[in-house]
Structure 1
């Protein structure tokens, strides 16, 4: 039977180290017209021709809205310590000031079931599904949306309080701001340099405004934010400046305001014409202390200066890539975490909140042999162990994703799950990677039980 191996003496063998799986609301729930939910920007975006592969949408997705109970049982069967999910803002506030008790009750059932089975619950408040009525007023280009988010955080945290073990304000603000409002590849599809940077500031302001609200309503829970971070490497020594800038523009731009109270000068200088309006006091709000940060890691980037002095990506054609076209580079996870530790002296604990690979997975006679994903996950667990050995304070690891789901602009073409989903029948099948993950966690549990 397949099983991932953790090095002897690894801190990840400790029962305090959290292993989990992760999902997000729009990607799995479906039932977009049920339970009092209103449209999100992704419902609208999916209706626009050519925006999503095959014209796919999240109307049904994995039908988790109806199948949640069996899904939570399945998660528990994997032996994980925690489940990371997101709450759909459109289910909680389908109208601006009208709290939808059906939406709260749906998530309460999930949370209660997880706790009854002994699993902790990590909840993301915003995983990109902004209510469409807020987008109609400018979305994240409108400063008011940051205050609407704080109100939404108040509604959720007042209802659940400490029942949610760990709150995340935002998942990957880079993606929300830049893919959604700068490059137009994600909902709502806005294109503009100034727009992308302005949206990023308002997202971070939303995070900062929500933090004291969450602390007041859930004083015993942990509160933080999750970033996607891609470490960049220079093609040659003369390209080191290109890699430094890409690190700054990719993740320092979002981490520095929270952890240092300022935006990186490298980006402000280069993007001077597009820099966002930052009001007095904004950075103090944004830099409120956090209990942890989440890091989502998938791959690296290699860059160089072209003949005009612009920065361009350098494809690594000799390397192995996943089905989505991302290079497999486990060392990047070690390097990234060490870089982050070096940059932020007062760094709070880190969770790896997403790590995984897209595969061209087929279920053949009830078995899914996702050999590449098994290697990917094993190699990244070892890379994480190296970072921990180097002194990085990591408290947990979440595999992305629990199951195949709606992969945003890629629709259902890309499969990131460790569980296979047949979208015609909604049958779930554990892939070999899920079995290897489960066997590793069961072995760890036995080891800790026996001392």
Structure 2
């Protein structure tokens, strides 16, 4: 069976500055929290990553050859303003102009994120707590406004990447820099403050009269009761949904938090021993951005099945690919489980592509004022085998095909999905996994930095050139 995607559909590849560029402390770039955090761990280094800072022409030439007509990149905030505010690093500005010019030359459209997990370290100094400190909101809006005015060649903007993941790593799992575990109060507050920053940047983009579109990228995960007939499991799934999905979706498309959303967040904050600071002017800022949020980027890799359970917090992140080692038990929510018959990756990520259909239809039905969705990240982490220059990553092809099939069904169901970006374009540095977890269409030999197309790259090329998905 063949499925035809709409005319103008974007067939993209995704990257992030810190995960591909390398040169993390050179060319005038300022520090981010990951620099010292990773150095202290001593497990792996983000340098040179995929050396995109020097080799972006190679990667964009591969995009052109393999039909990848859109690329997600991010601007490293500290390449522009090394201290987050103040002095400008012109070399960083020039780098991104050169990158965007090469995109134009190769016919690859850039979709640019302003903050992809690399908020400047300066905002954590002298008692600062990143976006928990409200002055960081002002700094982000100033930075965003500078970028809108400077990089007028960019027509597709996203403010943040994955606010729920930022909150989870920082204040739930606690495996990110400056992190704490099980602080749901700080997690919700961080997401709220970042959503206010997003909203204010969206309004600045509109008020500045800049050409193009602007939105936000969120990692969204469908949540299901382990037992569909259990009211207790359904409540556990609802609470998990508030953390990962509803809090940011309400802020984006309602301009406020629905009463049951706010009640659930407040209850979880109290369990963690804290209060939420939701101000009238914050809600006014969220509401002001409602007419101008042009698109939503959806990053989706997995779903979660929840079982109601009592007990203390117990979360262990599988960052090694040791299958079956992860644990997720959150007080006030429940326990994450794997439903019988549902496969998982080596990193215990549940493979349930139907969940993407459910998620897209849910956004359409629950937030009918949305305008457009891009699936901005989707892919499979895999321990690719390199044999004589050929990488047969058939499981990845199957993963992509299944998810694209459900995306097409969502389009048939009336969801406006405008594009799909594979995570990732090329193999990259991974925040908590280093280099053994590969996602790319193109294999990177990290010693030589040579690129090799995988079988999935040829499969994706056929999809992009024909617009047809063969079952």
Q: Specify which of 424, 429, 434 is matched with residue 406 of structure 1.
A: 429
Contact 2:12 2:72 in 1 (8 A): yes
**More displaced 10-residue stretch of structure 1: 165-174 or 309-318:** 309-318
Question: CA-to-partner distance for each residue in 1:276-326, whole Å, 9 max, x for gaps?
Answer: 211222122124130011111111111111256751111246332223221
TM-score by length of 2: 0.88
Maintained 8 Å contact 2:379/2:422: yes
What is the distance in 2 between the residues matched to 1:436 and 1:181?
A: 39
Aligned residues: 432
Report the 3-state secondary structure (helix = DSSP H, G, I; strand = E; otherwise coil) of the residue aligned with 1:55: coil
2:453 aligned residue: 430
Aligned: 1:103 with 2:92 = yes
2:320 aligns with none
Q: 2:15 is matched with which residue: 7, 13, 23? A: 23
Give the direction of change, closer, same or farther, for the CA distance of 1:74–1:398 in structure 2 (3 Å limit).
Answer: same
Matching of residues 203-214 of structure 1 within 5 Å: 203-214=194-205
Of residues 118, 140, 149, the one that matches 2:140 is 149
> What is the match of residue 34 of structure 1?
26
Question: What does residue 82 of structure 2 align with?
Answer: 94
Three-state SS of the structure 2 residue aligned to 1:368 is coil
SS in 1 for 2:117: coil
1:135 corresponds to: 124
* Deviation at residue 182 of structure 1 after TM alignment: 3.6
Aligned partners of 1:248 and 1:266 also within 8 Å = no
1:68 and 2:60 aligned:
no
Q: Is the 8 A contact 1:127 1:170 kept in 2?
A: yes
* Counterpart position of 1:449: none
Larger mean Cα displacement after TM superposition, 167-176 or 68-77: 68-77
Partner of 1:123: 112
User: 1:6 deviation in Å?
Assistant: 4.9
Aligned counterparts, 1:18-417, within 5 A: 18-49=10-41, 55-95=43-83, 96-136=85-125, 137-161=128-152, 163-191=153-181, 192-217=183-208, 219-236=210-227, 237-238=229-230, 239-263=233-257, 264-273=261-270, 274-287=274-287, 288-289=289-290, 290-306=293-309, 310-316=333-339, 318-417=341-440
| CA distance 1:150–1:310, change in 2 (3 Å) | closer
Provide the C-alpha distance between the structure 1 equivalents of 2:9 and 2:373, rounded to a whole number of angstroms: 11
Contact 1:126–1:170 (8 Å) recurs in 2 = yes
Does the CA-based 8 Å contact 1:268-1:275 persist in structure 2? no
Q: Normalising by structure 1, report the TM-score.
A: 0.92
CA contact (8 A) 1:197 1:275 kept: no
Is 286-295 or 257-266 further displaced after alignment?
257-266
Task: Compare 152-161 and 306-315 and name the one that shifted more.
Answer: 306-315
Distance in 2, matches of 1:72 and 1:66, equals 12
Contact 1:44–1:132, Cα closer than 8 Å, also in 2: no
Quote the offset at 1:266 in angstroms. 4.5
Q: Mean alpha-carbon deviation: is it higher for 314-323 or for 427-436?
A: 314-323
CA contact (8 A) 1:182 1:194 kept: no
Q: Greater shift after overlay, 14-23 or 399-408?
A: 14-23
**Shift in Å, 1:275:** 4.1
Q: How far is 1:31 from its partner?
A: 0.6
What's the CA shift for 1:218?
Answer: 5.5
CA distance in 2, matches of 1:84, 1:275: 36
Change (3 A) 1:181 1:305: closer
Structure 1 unmatched ranges of 5 or more: 446-451
Could you tell me whether the CA contact under 8 Å between 2:81 and 2:88 is conserved in 1? yes
Q: Secondary structure at 2:374's aligned position in 1? A: strand
